[in-house]
Amino acid sequence: MDEFITLRKYIEARNYKEALALIDELEEMSKDEKINKVESYIVILLIHYRFKELLLNY
């Protein structure tokens, strides 16, 4: 949330170069979060699949 306060200050100061750099940083953070979420779902699916496989072979 502090990033938005900083972004506002950059814009109010007409420091557009820093504002754009901060926006790029926020976009990258968002992409990283999405990648982490997908990785987590993949792990859960693999565990579920393996558990199901073990039960069927028991």
Distance CA 26, CA 47 (A): 32
Distance from the Cα of residue 52 to its chain's centroid: 30
Q: Along the 58 residues of the chain, how does pLDDT read in single tens digits?
A: 688 899 999 999 999 999 999 999 999 989 889 999 999 989 999 998 888 888 888 7
Q: What was the pLDDT predicted at 12?
A: 94
Q: What was the pLDDT predicted at 20?
A: 93
Q: What was the pLDDT predicted at 53?
A: 85
Q: What was the pLDDT predicted at 5?
A: 92
